[in-house]
Amino acid sequence: MSAYEGHQRPGDTVPQQDDHEALIAEEGPAVVDAQLAATSDHAAIADLASPGGSYVQAEAVAARDKINEILDVLRDAGLIPSA
């Protein structure tokens, strides 16, 4: 325990900064996990398969579908505007 723990230090910019820092360290990870879980209801997006040696329309469609899934997750998270 430092001599300043729980007290305002000269460099502190927030009243009761130690208490704020302790709360963030204690509660922060759970809050972040909860927000990430609530951000999207989509399942995990699997990696796209390696393309074949020649053009196959099914590969282009699969790539388009993956891109659309990624866009849906980004929209759900509010990171990009809705289309």
Q: Where does the pLDDT of residue 34 fall: very low under 50, low under 70, confident under 90, or very high at 90 and above? A: confident
Q: What is the pLDDT of residue 63?
A: 92
**29 and 16 co-located in one domain:** yes
Q: How far apart are CA 74 and CA 80, in angstroms?
A: 6
**29 and 49 co-located in one domain:** no
Q: Which residue has the tokens 């300043």?
A: 4
Q: Does the pLDDT of residue 4 top 70, yes or no?
A: no
Q: What is the pLDDT of residue 7?
A: 66
- Residue 6 φ/ψ region, left for φ over 0, alpha for ψ in the -120 to 50 degree band, beta for the rest: left
**34 and 69 co-located in one domain:** no
- Number of domains, the chain: 2
Q: Where does the pLDDT of residue 13 fall: very low under 50, low under 70, confident under 90, or very high at 90 and above? A: confident
**9 and 29 co-located in one domain:** yes
Q: What is the pLDDT of residue 5?
A: 56
69 close to 45: Cβ distance less than 8 angstroms = yes
Question: Whole domain around residue 31: which residue ranges?
Answer: 1-39
Element (H, E) at 28: helix 17-39
**34 and 48 co-located in one domain:** no
pLDDT digits (tens, 9 = 90+) for 39-79: 777 778 888 888 888 888 989 999 999 999 999 888 888 88
Residues 6+ apart with CB under 8 A from 47: none
